[in-house]
Amino acid sequence: MSAKSNFISKIQFWRHKYVPQKNFVLIISFVVGLLAGIVTLALKNITFTIEKLLEKGIIFSNYHLYFILPVVGLSLVYLLKKYVFKKELKPSIPSFIKRSIPSLLYSLLRQKGLLSYRLIYHPLVMAPLTVGFGGSVGLLGPAITSGSALSSNLGSWLRVDKKTRTLLIACATAGAMASMFKSPIAAVVFAVEVFSLDLTFASLLPLLIASISSVLTSYFFLGDEVLFNVAVTDKFTLNDTLFYIVLGIGTAIASIYFTKMYFGIYAFFDRFKSRFIKLLIGGFAIGAMLYFIPPLYGEGLSFINNLLEGNHMLALGTTPFDAYKDNIWIVILLLMGITIFKAVAMTTTFAAGGVGGVIIPTMVMGSALGNVVAKVINNIGLGFEVSEANFTLIGMAGLIAGVIHAPLTAIFLIAEITGGYELFVPLMITVAISFLITKNTQEYNIYTQELAKRGDLLTYNKDRNALLLMNLDRLIEKNFITITPETKLGTILTDAVAKSNRNIYPVVDEENTFLGIILLNDLRKIMFDQKLYDKVIARDLMENAPAMIFYKEDSMETIMNKFEATSAWNLPVIYENKYYGFVSKSKLLTAYRKKLIDFSEK
């Protein structure tokens, strides 16, 4: 035994002897929150440093060539991926998973929550280069990825089980969000909504501890500094209810648009096989958008803050349309441009190879839309007057609820950002409408849509989760004796029936292509008539299988449905058009029952 393994074993022995499991989980959740907070702060500071260096750069500050910076940033990310971080991440994530949180959800389902240690530092390098050079994405996703990788590897080092590892990843997610926004309650709610956790005391307390330790870390290093400087001064009035309903409908439509653009742009870029071609097309497309709409540069936090302060001129920055910005309707059109093109710029950054998150771009888009709705109401000439700052805030909540299907996160996040609950009623109105419309239009959110299509998504449905977690490989039985179609009855009886304790025999050709089955019950009728031994062959006796299971194609839910529809006790498994084995109903139900019990105990 190595010195390292011996050291770990001693720690494990001491822990099991002196630290009860519940206390151990609470201690480790505090550590995870602390680490997630440090990672988030490091990510923000690295990005901020890059932005300041570029802002003071002689060439770019004097000649306003900032719109070419995304190409530079994406090129650096491309070169790092190709020449420095070229080793494959193990365990690897399938290529269809494009973003950080979907990769975590997949890992929890298919890889027992094991994340590559390289994911600890990859986002700390890639995301600041992407965002710092103007990529139109956020930092929360990379912070969650890095913090989760830390918690996963820490859990592996301490040899925790899958259930505890899952909880630690959720703690890291809560910690990253709490540190980013200084919103501990919203962070806990976010972890619960995104990871579909059952909210029990056993899971709630570690999440709270992780969130608190992460927020304390943020306060320790940053003091009272926050992302958004806002205080609610305009109270909600009953007369504004209709306008908040309109905002809810508007944010729902924008959320649906956001999601469709996200997958549509990815589909467009997937046509190009070369990552370098994607980089060039995406980089120059982002640069063109930045030239006309500068607020699309980077995360966009300053844009939100300027809107909240009522300074839309500063929020919009220097544009080719400056001569017309005295006209409020031109300002409204420019803000609508941000609403429309933020989703395009964000997804283009991702598709071109950039690394970042979705939530902050969603908030930028929502803030612009909320401000547009308020400005239209105030300037339409009907004598109405609403708070532009309030609509800016609630627009963010509406987009979060619609895009990621996290209504409670949206409400508590804005409530904590504003430092009170004065906007709770309008938040509930707008968020509820946005969520209901988008949920009925798109069953799955931007994180889960691709996973759901492939049957790789855990939900609150314990029956479905039990099926998802079942491993088909462990259910396939291969000790069935195969028969060729020309095999005579006598040979079937001596070489198959006499040597097998099975009551079903698969018929295959010379290339192992599945042709059908022969049942023992059918053989019993003629097995004692020796005159038929040389006259009857397998082809005369075989029949079609009630259904077939297609390996790596059928989900466990589909397989269960096939058994239920056919009432069969055994079904053949086909892999690449070849016979692969059988799955028995009894073994399937036993495995399902065991998984269901495991979930019920969580």
Residues with Cβ < 8 Å from 285, sequence gap 6 or more? 348, 352
pLDDT at 63: 44
Q: Where in the chain is the domain with CATH 3.10.580.10?
A: 464-600
Instruction: Judge whether residue 325 has pLDDT over 90.
Output: no
Q: Which CATH architecture has domain 238-455?
A: Orthogonal Bundle (1.10)
Residue 447 structure tokens: 């994180």
Cα–Cα distances in Å, from 170 out to 119, 198, 373? 16, 12, 36
Q: How far apart are the first and last CA of the chain?
A: 34
Residues with Cβ < 8 Å from 59, sequence gap 6 or more? 65
How far apart (Å, rounded) are the C-alpha atoms in residues 574 and 164? Answer: 36
3-class DSSP state of 446: coil
Q: Tokens 């609610």 sit at which residue?
A: 232
Residue 246 structure tokens: 């309109």
Residues with Cβ < 8 Å from 363, sequence gap 6 or more? 304, 396, 399, 400
Instruction: Judge whether residue 599 has pLDDT over 80.
Output: no
pLDDT digits (tens, 9 = 90+) for 253-299: 999 999 999 999 999 998 888 888 999 899 889 988 988 888 898 88
> What's the helix, strand, coil split of the chain in %, to 5?
65, 5, 30
Judge whether 266 and 347 are in contact, CB under 8 Å.
yes
pLDDT at 89: 66
How far apart (Å, rounded) are the C-alpha atoms in residues 250 and 429? Answer: 13
CA 215 to chain centre: 23
Judge whether 527 and 536 are in contact, CB under 8 Å.
no
How far apart (Å, rounded) are the C-alpha atoms in residues 104 and 490? Answer: 56
Q: Tokens 């870029």 sit at which residue?
A: 269
pLDDT digits (tens, 9 = 90+) for 160-169: 877 888 889 9
Residue 209 — pLDDT band, cuts 50, 70, 90?
A: very high
Residue 597 — pLDDT band, cuts 50, 70, 90?
A: low
Dihedral angle sign, alpha carbons of residues 217, 12, 150, 172:
negative
Instruction: Judge whether residue 453 has pLDDT over 80.
Output: no
Judge whether 536 and 509 are in contact, CB under 8 Å.
no
Which conformational region is residue 460 in: left (phi greater than 0), alpha (psi within -120 to 50 degrees), or beta? Answer: alpha
Using alpha carbons only, give the angle 300, 306, 307 rounded to the nearest 5 degrees.
95
Instruction: Judge whether residue 33 has pLDDT over 90.
Output: yes
Residues with Cβ < 8 Å from 341, sequence gap 6 or more? 289, 293, 296
Instruction: Judge whether residue 59 has pLDDT over 50.
Output: no
How far apart (Å, rounded) are the C-alpha atoms in residues 60 and 74? Answer: 17
Q: What is the mean pLDDT of residues 486-495?
A: 89
Residue 119 — pLDDT band, cuts 50, 70, 90?
A: confident
pLDDT at 31: 93
Helix axes 122-132, 140-157, angle to 10 degrees: 170
Q: What is the mean pLDDT of residues 534-549?
A: 90
DSSP label of 84: I
Q: What is the residue-averaged pLDDT of the chain?
A: 85
Instruction: Judge whether residue 383 has pLDDT over 60.
Output: yes
Q: What is the mean pLDDT of residues 590-599?
A: 73
DSSP label of 481: P
Residue 362 structure tokens: 């969603």
How far apart (Å, rounded) are the C-alpha atoms in residues 377 and 382? Answer: 8
Residue 173 structure tokens: 């997610």
* Host H or E run for residue 202: helix 201-222
β partners of residue 575: 578
How far apart (Å, rounded) are the C-alpha atoms in residues 276 and 8? Answer: 44
pLDDT at 238: 87
Q: Is 498 exposed, middle or buried (0-12, 13-18, 19+ CB in 10 A)?
A: exposed
CA 80 to chain centre: 24
pLDDT digits (tens, 9 = 90+) for 387-435: 999 999 999 999 999 999 999 999 999 988 887 678 889 999 999 999 9
Judge whether 143 and 121 are in contact, CB under 8 Å.
no
Cα–Cα distances in Å, from 134 out to 279, 283, 294, 351, 537? 14, 10, 10, 15, 73
Instruction: Judge whether residue 593 has pLDDT over 60.
Output: yes
How far apart (Å, rounded) are the C-alpha atoms in residues 331 and 329? Answer: 5
How far apart (Å, rounded) are the C-alpha atoms in residues 375 and 385? Answer: 9
Q: What percent of the chain has pLDDT over 90?
A: 39
Q: Which CATH architecture has domain 464-600?
A: Roll (3.10)
Amino acid at position 460, single letter: Y
How far apart (Å, rounded) are the C-alpha atoms in residues 447 and 244? Answer: 27
Residue 112 — pLDDT band, cuts 50, 70, 90?
A: confident
Report which of residues 95 and 389 the model is more confident about: 389
Report which of residues 327 and 250 the model is more confident about: 250
Of the candidates 367, 368, 436, the residue with the CA atom closest to the CA atom of residue 401: 436
Q: Where in the chain is the domain with CATH 1.10.3080.10?
A: 3-222, 238-455
Q: Tokens 């998150």 sit at which residue?
A: 357
Query: Which of 79-93, 322-336, 350-364, 552-566 is least confident?
Result: 79-93
Using alpha carbons only, give the angle 191, 197, 201 rounded to the nearest 5 degrees.
95
How far apart (Å, rounded) are the C-alpha atoms in residues 549 and 506? Answer: 14
Residue 457 — pLDDT band, cuts 50, 70, 90?
A: low
* Host H or E run for residue 360: helix 359-379
* Host H or E run for residue 289: helix 275-292
Residue 445 — pLDDT band, cuts 50, 70, 90?
A: confident
Residue 61 — pLDDT band, cuts 50, 70, 90?
A: very low
Q: Return the CATH superfamily for domain 3-222.
A: Clc chloride channel (1.10.3080.10)
Residue 134 structure tokens: 């103007």
Of the candidates 392, 31, 37, the residue with the CA atom closest to the CA atom of residue 187: 37
